[in-house]
Amino acid sequence: MAHFPRELPDLEQTLGDLMLDLLRAKSEYNELVLAAPLDGLGRFSPEAVRVTQHYTMALLAYGYTPHQIELQEAAQWFSTTFPTESNRRIDALEMNRLEVLLELRPNEPMVLTRLEQLATQHTDMDTYDLSMNDPLFETLWALKVMAQARKAGVLNGIMPDDELKRRANAIVQGQRREKDLALALRLRHDLSGKLTTQQQTRYLNMLMEVARQNGNVWGVSQDMRWLAENLWRGQITPGQVADNREVFREMILSTCYVIENLLPLAPFYPETEPVLRQAMEVWWGIFHGNSAVDFLHALFPNAYDYLLIVCRTIVSLRAYLDEPLIGWGAAHIYRTVAQQNTRQIDSPDNDNIKRALKDWIKIDFEKMPESLRKGMSGTNIVRIHPQISTPSDTDEREFSMPLPNASSLVVKYGAIEEIDRERENFAHLPASIRECFVNMPQPSYVDDRRRKAYIIMADLSRHKTLAEVLEKVPQMQPALNRELMPFLIRVHMGDMRQRRAAGDGVLLQLYLLPMQEHVRRVFSYILENRLLEADKAKEALARQTQRGLLDSIGHLVRRQLDLEGFPLACMHGDLHSRNIMVKKLRPSENPDRDSEIDFKLIDLEKFDRSGDAALDAGELLMDLEILRAPRNTPAEKDPIALLMKGIRNSYNGFAEERGDQSFNLRLDLAQARALIRVAKGRTKAGEASLRESRRGPSVRVAYDALDYTEQALILLQGVVKQLG
pLDDT in tens, 710-720: 999 999 999 99
**Are 583 and 678 found together in one domain?**
yes
Question: Reduced to 3 DSSP states, what percent helix, strand and coil does the chain have, rounded to the nearest 5?
Answer: 60, 10, 30
**For residue 261, what pLDDT is reported?**
97
CA distance 10 to 430: 10
**Are 646 and 680 found together in one domain?**
yes
**Are 620 and 675 found together in one domain?**
yes
Cβ 168 vs Cβ 187: under 8 Å: yes
**Are 376 and 509 found together in one domain?**
no
**Are 447 and 426 found together in one domain?**
yes
CA distance 415 to 693: 28
CA distance 101 to 105: 5
* Ranges of H-type helices in 234-377: 238-242, 245-262, 273-287, 292-299, 303-321, 326-339, 348-360
CA distance 613 to 629: 24
**Are 518 and 593 found together in one domain?**
yes
Positions of the chain with pLDDT under 50: 1-5, 342-345, 374-376, 393-397
* Residue 472, C-beta contacts closer than 8 angstroms, at least 6 positions apart: 464
Does the pTM surpass 0.85? The reply is no
Residue 407 domain boundaries: 348-458
* Residue 96, C-beta contacts closer than 8 angstroms, at least 6 positions apart: 49, 50, 53
CA distance 136 to 179: 13
Domain boundary (427, 458, 489) is at 458
CA distance 237 to 410: 26
**For residue 406, what pLDDT is reported?**
65
Total of domains in the chain: 2
**Are 451 and 501 found together in one domain?**
no
| Any domain includes 611 | yes
**For residue 394, what pLDDT is reported?**
46
**Are 494 and 636 found together in one domain?**
yes
Cβ 506 vs Cβ 229: under 8 Å: no
| Any domain includes 148 | no
CA distance 519 to 533: 19
**Are 651 and 692 found together in one domain?**
yes
User: What is the domain-level CATH number for residue 353?
Assistant: 3.30.200
* Per-residue H/E/C for 281-302: HHHHHHHCCCCHHHHHHHHCCC
| Any domain includes 621 | yes
| Any domain includes 128 | no
User: What is the domain-level CATH number for residue 541?
Assistant: 3.90.1200
**Are 544 and 482 found together in one domain?**
yes
**Are 643 and 622 found together in one domain?**
yes
Q: Report phi then psi at 386, rounded to 5.
A: -75, 145
Domain boundary (415, 437, 458) is at 458
**For residue 22, what pLDDT is reported?**
96
| Any domain includes 599 | yes
Q: Which amino acid is at 493?
A: M
Neighbour order of strands in the sheet with 409-415: 370-371, 380-384, 409-415, 452-458, 445-447
**For residue 349, what pLDDT is reported?**
66
DSSP reduced 3-state for 522: helix
* Residue 482, C-beta contacts closer than 8 angstroms, at least 6 positions apart: none
The three-point CA angle 306-310-314 to 5° equals 170
Domain boundary (458, 488, 504) is at 458
Torsion from C-alpha of 281, 283, 284, 286, nearest 10 degrees: 120
| Any domain includes 303 | no
**For residue 527, what pLDDT is reported?**
94
CA distance 168 to 191: 8
**Are 474 and 566 found together in one domain?**
yes
| Any domain includes 560 | yes
DSSP reduced 3-state for 662: coil
- Nearest CA among 71, 73, 26 for reference residue 48: 26
**For residue 232, what pLDDT is reported?**
85
| Any domain includes 431 | yes
